[in-house]
Amino acid sequence: MPRLILLLAIAAVVYILYQRARRQPPHKRRAEYIKLGVIVAVIVVIGLTVTGRMHWIGAALTGLLVAFRQLAPILVRLFPMLSSLRSQAGAQQQSTVETACLRVHMDHSSGKLSGEVLSGPYKDWFLDEMDRAQLDELMQYCQREDSDSAQLLAGYMEQRFPGAGSSEQPGADTRTASPGGMTRKEALAILGLGDDASDEDITAAHRSLIQKLHPDRGGSDYLAARINEAKDFLLG
């Protein structure tokens, strides 16, 4: 009987962890499933070792593999050169606009928008992972909580679903940018520039971005307004 209770308890814990992993954003699920697999493997090895069905060497090797996996991220951080090379290999110039609910990036070379959710029912999800129904649900949340986030999301959806119609509800706030409150750090992020950017760099970045996002070219009113606001702030 005690053994049966233990097995049921273990099965319940594994089930709870599995359900928790399923609720994670898609880009995090793989890591959660790997963790769950490691936990199950450890439980099996411990059970076989305790019952004498596995030699202690096999259990020790399994423990070393688990420890190595846990220490791998720390080992990578101990080699900053390796991390730097990895970051540089995938680095692309991006602009970033952040609101209360969203953080949206724009690739300078392609003009493609991407981003992640900062709050709400889809917190930590990437926008590209979400389907239209999920984005519509997120839009309703943004319209209730923060009009800037709703306008930013509308710009992303206009690019991803061209010609599909607006998701904004009647009576939604139609401001094109937040009045004031911008910092130099935010303005530089919007234009995708560093702290040492010159006036010429600011002007060139603004010109390049506005060509991709201007409303007359099918871009976003809100993003165009934020880009103009960033330029005016930095050159003002």
Q: Please give the average pLDDT of every successive group of 10 residues along the chain, which has 236 residues.
A: 72 77 73 74 69 61 60 52 47 82 89 91 92 94 94 90 59 45 89 91 90 70 89 90
Predicted pLDDT at 13: 75
Given 2.60.120.200, 1.10.287.110, 3.40.50.620, 3.40.50.300, which CATH number is that of 92-235? 1.10.287.110
Written as six digits, the tokens of 188 are 């530089």
Joined together, the tokens standing for residue 7 give 């097995």
pLDDT for position 169? 45
For residue 73, the model assigns a pLDDT of 55
Q: Return the structure tokens found at 149.
A: 């986030």
Q: What are the sequence ranges of the domains in the chain?
A: 2-86, 92-235
pLDDT at position 165, please? Answer: 54
Q: What angle do CA 235, 174, 93 make, to 5 degrees?
A: 45
